[in-house]
Amino acid sequence: MPCCAIALLALFGPRLILFGIWLFNNTYLRAATDNFFIQCLGFLFLPWTLLAFVFSINTFPGAQFMGLDTTGVIITALGLLFDILSYGGGGYGNRDRLRGYVS
């Protein structure tokens, strides 16, 4: 049961936070990107990355890379890593259930 709760939190947690930001404080999200299409793609496919980027652009503005300073780039890269781990972890966790998987 705790593993399922952690998996659901990893899957829906950033999406719920992004929905709350969009619903209650849209200017915080618009500071990162004005394009609604990019916001939707980030919400669907890379929610941790979008959440980290929105936090970074509003907290650590700079002029080094895409409007971020070094700390912001590191936080956004960690968000991307969380997205990759949340998608890739399911395949690794279910490797015993897959036919033809040789470990």
**In the chain, where are the structural domains located?**
2-92
pLDDT on residue 52:
94
pLDDT on residue 67:
77
Q: Which residue has the higher pLDDT, 90 or 52?
A: 52
**What's the count of helices (H) and strands (E) in the chain, helices before strands?**
5, 2
Q: Which residue has the higher pLDDT, 3 or 35?
A: 35
pLDDT in tens, 55-84: 999 888 877 777 788 888 999 999 999 988
The answer to whether residues 55 and 78 touch, using CB atoms and an 8 Å cutoff, is no
The reported pTM is 0.79
Mapping DSSP to helix (H, G, I), strand (E, B) and coil, where does residue 46 land? coil
Q: Give the list of residues 6+ apart from residue 91 with CB closer than 8 angstroms, or none.
A: 98
pLDDT on residue 101:
58
Cα 79 to Cα 67: distance, rounded to the nearest angstrom: 17
pLDDT on residue 70:
87
